Amino acid sequence: MDVQVLRWFQQVADGVTVTEVAEAELVSQPAVSRALARLEKEVGAPLLRREGRILRMTTAGAAFKGHVDAAIHHVDDGLAAVHQVLDPETGIVTVAYQPSLGPWLVPDLVSSFRAEHPGVEFDLRAKFHSPTPATGPGSDIDVELLCVPQPRPRLGVAAHRERADAAARPAGPPARVRHRAGAACAGGGGAVRGAA
């Protein structure tokens, strides 16, 4: 059944004329009449009877209308839910996080994000010891907070030109201060992985 035709039936059953429905929907009056006739054929019973310029519900139409009202209500709620999920200022963000990040990082992130985007809800899920990422194709996780183990620095020997002795230093670039997530992650820094 076509939802638009059900809406037209709903309006006509509530006393709106076919001409008024056609004008409001920017379609021809015969198109609305044909659609209502197809609906009656699909249902298998006459739903409307003509009384002058107005169509009135038959007994079958009255029985059908209550269900149409409920169905249209559910469809409208479903469409609103989809729009809410797709709207970047509303919806639900599902966040997976390692338990060590939960007590201190997650509340700060959520509260600061909510301050700028009050319509967004969060579904927070602790992720226990899984080597595979929680985000990706087929996942319902939008963002993953995790600790990324950092390789231990290798020690190299560098000769000092003025002195004969060697000085031990970590190989590679000088160490940088990482964001706070590094402090709670044993031996490494924090990372945020988002769904593509």
pLDDT of residue 126: 86
For residue 27, what are the β-bridge partners?
Answer: none
Q: What angle do CA 61, 67, 69 make, to 5 degrees?
A: 95
pLDDT tens digits for range 8-57: 999 999 999 999 999 999 999 999 999 999 999 999 999 999 988 788 99
Cβ neighbours for 127, distance < 8 A, ≥ 6 positions apart: 96, 97, 98, 99, 134, 144, 146
Distance CA 64, CA 5 (A): 13
Mean pLDDT of the chain: 78
pLDDT tens per residue across span 58-117: 999 999 999 999 999 999 999 988 887 787 787 788 888 888 888 888 888 889 988 988
Partners of 124 in beta bridges: 95
pLDDT at 183: 43
